[in-house]
């Protein structure tokens, strides 16, 4: 049985964008969409200032309304979709992360109702993207244009292989072009006399690396048009720039931390803050 796509909602504008993105993807993949709203029981309560007696009921009623609105939005957007809803009590980031066992992927808005004005990435989306083992897509509310291009970051690590497979699948399902972007920085001592760097050889090696990465998957997805894009630039700068003309940017994660969003690598974490389009973080 195919796994479902899970999307979290808190009634925010960002969550509404995530619901629409998720139902589109669920329809393309022909899998159910499961919408989750989390009830966090008076998170600021302390002994001296306990929660009001009816706070729990108020929060539950609000979550029910949010779920009903989200389901209606999804079905207006994609009437043919299969949509279920669930209200769960707990901490939002932990609840959404725990959905991974039944999820093909988790979709979240970039910033929820509790976010600071002007913040590009909320704590919940950062933690889910950093901790969940299934693909996590973070959606911004202002990324609505369709460009017909998927961008995937490629490097020489094993972490990029699941991201490449995910990106090929997205490009195939959407009928989009796949831009495989490999950004590299010049060797620090590349132009220092006496150190044997041949920059032409270095450039050729970067192109060969990308071609080798694409060789296997390209054969499995012959219908996907691939653009090989090799740039001498910082990966964050190159991917951020590419996101301006993309429908989705896909990255792996090199994070090896143990706390929250530290499990995100530096490139994926920075991209979540600066990308102009949705970002999929795909872990190995």
User: Residues 27-82: pLDDT tens digits?
Assistant: 999 999 999 999 886 555 555 555 555 556 778 888 999 999 999 999 999 999 99
Per CATH, which fold does 4-139 belong to? Answer: Rossmann fold (3.40.50)
The percentage of the chain sitting over the pLDDT mark of 90, rounded to a whole number, equals 57
Backbone angles phi, psi at 270, to 5 degrees: -65, -40
pLDDT at 184: 87
pLDDT at 158: 77
For the beta carbon of residue 281, count every other beta carbon within 10 angstroms: 30
pLDDT at 54: 56
pLDDT at 55: 56
Q: Which pLDDT tens digit goes with each residue over 193-233?
A: 555 666 778 889 889 999 999 998 888 999 999 999 999 99
- CA 29, CA 169: separation in Å to the nearest integer? 10
pLDDT at 117: 41
- CA 154, CA 53: separation in Å to the nearest integer? 53
Residue 215 pairs in a beta bridge with none
Highest mean pLDDT among 55-59, 106-110, 129-133: 106-110
Per CATH, which fold does 149-281 belong to? Answer: Rossmann fold (3.40.50)
Q: Is 70 exceeded by the pLDDT of residue 138?
A: yes
- CA 41, CA 55: separation in Å to the nearest integer? 8
Helix (H, G, I), strand (E, B) or coil at 106: strand
Higher-confidence position of 83 and 159 = 83
Nearest of 231, 93, 55 to residue 151 by alpha carbon? 231
pLDDT band at 188; cut points 50, 70, 90 = low
Output the CA–CA distances (angstroms, integers) from residue 139 to 7, 122, 146, 264, 273, in the order listed.
Answer: 11, 11, 14, 17, 11
Highest mean pLDDT among 84-93, 115-124, 195-204: 84-93
Mutual angle of helices 235-243 and 266-274, in 10-degree steps: 30
Same fold yes or no, 4-139 and 149-281: yes
- CA 178, CA 249: separation in Å to the nearest integer? 10
Output the CA–CA distances (angstroms, integers) from residue 87 to 10, 14, 16, 18, 250, in the order listed.
Answer: 11, 19, 16, 17, 29
Q: Is 50 exceeded by the pLDDT of residue 152?
A: yes
Region 186-191: mean pLDDT is 60
- Give me 84's structure tokens: 């279920």
Least confident of 31-35, 81-85, 114-118, 130-134: 114-118
Higher-confidence position of 277 and 142 = 277
Domain ranges within the chain, ordered by starting residue: 4-139, 149-281
């Amino acid at each position: 049985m195919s796994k479902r796509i899970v999307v979290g909602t808190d009634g925010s504008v960002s969550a509404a964008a995530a619901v629409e993105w998720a139902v589109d993807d669920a329809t393309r993949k022909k899998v159910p969409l499961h919408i989750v709203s989390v009830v966090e029981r008076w998170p600021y309560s302390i002994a001296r200032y306990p929660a009001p007696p009816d706070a729990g009921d108020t929060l539950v009623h609000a979550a029910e309304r949010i779920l009903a609105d989200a389901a209606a939005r999804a079905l207006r957007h994609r009437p043919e979709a299969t949509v279920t809803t669930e209200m769960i009590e707990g901490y939002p980031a932990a609840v959404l992360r725990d959905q991974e066992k039944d999820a093909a992927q988790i979709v979240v808005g970039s910033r929820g109702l509790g976010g600071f004005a002007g913040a590009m990435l909320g704590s919940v989306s950062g933690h889910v993207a950093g901790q969940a083992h299934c693909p996590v897509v973070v959606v911004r509310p202002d990324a609505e244009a369709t460009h017909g291009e998927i961008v995937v970051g490629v490097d020489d690590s094993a972490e990029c292989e699941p991201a490449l497979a995910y990106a090929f699948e997205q490009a195939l399902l959407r009928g989009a072009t796949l831009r495989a972007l490999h950004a590299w920085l010049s060797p620090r001592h590349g132009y220092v006399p006496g150190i044997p760097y041949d920059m032409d050889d270095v450039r050729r090696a970067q192109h060969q690396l990308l071609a080798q990465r694409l060789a296997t998957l390209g054969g499995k997805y012959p219908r996907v048009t691939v653009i090989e894009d090799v740039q001498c630039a910082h990966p964050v700068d190159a991917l951020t720039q590419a996101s301006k003309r993309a429908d989705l940017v896909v990255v792996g994660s090199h994070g090896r931390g143990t706390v929250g969003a530290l499990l995100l690598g530096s490139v994926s974490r920075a991209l979540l803050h600066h990308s102009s389009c949705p970002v999929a973080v795909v872990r190995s």
